[in-house]
Amino acid sequence: MKKTAILLTALFLCTEAYAETVYVTDSLTAPMRTGKTNRYRILLNIKSGTPLSLIEHDKAAGYSKVRTQKGTEGWMLTRYLVNQPTARYRLEKLEKDLLDWKQEKQAVILMSEELEKTNSALETDNLTLKKLNEKLKEEVSYIKKISGSAMNINQRNQQLTEENQQLQNETDLLSAENKRLKEDAKHDFYLMGAGTVVLGLVLGLIIPNFKPKRKDAGWI
């Protein structure tokens, strides 16, 4: 039983793989029956343009065995089947393709409009960025200029500090020299005072010796 089931399944798959596709003619509907004559029960009324899989063809009976896309199998008059889609089916397909093309075209137009808007926005952003870049360049230039001025001021301040320190050193030297000169002058003053006193004493001792002596009256 298992082998038979496998064989039937393989046969069904092979039949499905090699089945030729046929279409119902432009008639409004065509009956699918359980047998090869119109005495058999109608399974389905197939609409015009419906694709079917051809399983078997009986030229003598004028019937063909077909299968629908849902798997229903039955017999239909061969004259109702053609190898090409019907004009109605092709027209419907063309109309559907045209509608799809129009929708795609509309989508492309909308996409193009969105791209144009995006491009315009990008151009605006680019212009804004250019202006911002120019402004930043000016600010950087100004900062560099200020930095250069600050550097020059710092250098000048350092130079003045060094000159001030040098002047302070010279002032300290002059103050020390002035103090020394004052001390020397004071010392000289003391020496001069002492010399004056000594000179006064010496003169006081010497000058009396130079006065004329009075003559004694007894000798006259």
Q: Is residue 166 part of a domain?
A: no
The answer to whether the Cα torsion of 133, 135, 141, 147 is positive or negative is negative
Q: Is residue 65 part of a domain?
A: yes
Q: For 123-181, how does the pLDDT look when each residue is reduced to its tens digit (9 = 90+)? A: 899 889 988 888 888 888 888 877 777 777 788 888 888 888 988 898 888 888 888 88
pTM of the model: 0.35
Strand order in the sheet with 42-47: 42-47, 29-33, 73-77, 63-67, 51-58, 20-24, 81-82
Query: Which residues constitute the domain of residue 20?
Result: 2-85
Q: For 43-75, how does the pLDDT look when each residue is reduced to its tens digit (9 = 90+)? A: 999 988 889 999 999 999 999 999 999 999 999
What gap in Å lies between CA 141 and CA 118, rounded to an integer? 34
CATH of the domain at 18: 2.30.30.40
Q: Is residue 33 part of a domain?
A: yes
Q: What is the largest CA-CA distance in the chain?
A: 220
Q: Provide the number of structural domains found in the chain.
A: 1
Q: Are 52 and 94 in contact (CB under 8 A)?
A: no
Q: Is residue 130 part of a domain?
A: no
Neighbours of 30 (CB within 10 A): 20
Q: Is residue 25 part of a domain?
A: yes
Helices (H), 81-215: 87-206
Q: Dig out the tokens for 217 from the structure.
A: 């009256």
What gap in Å lies between CA 185 and CA 34, rounded to an integer? 154
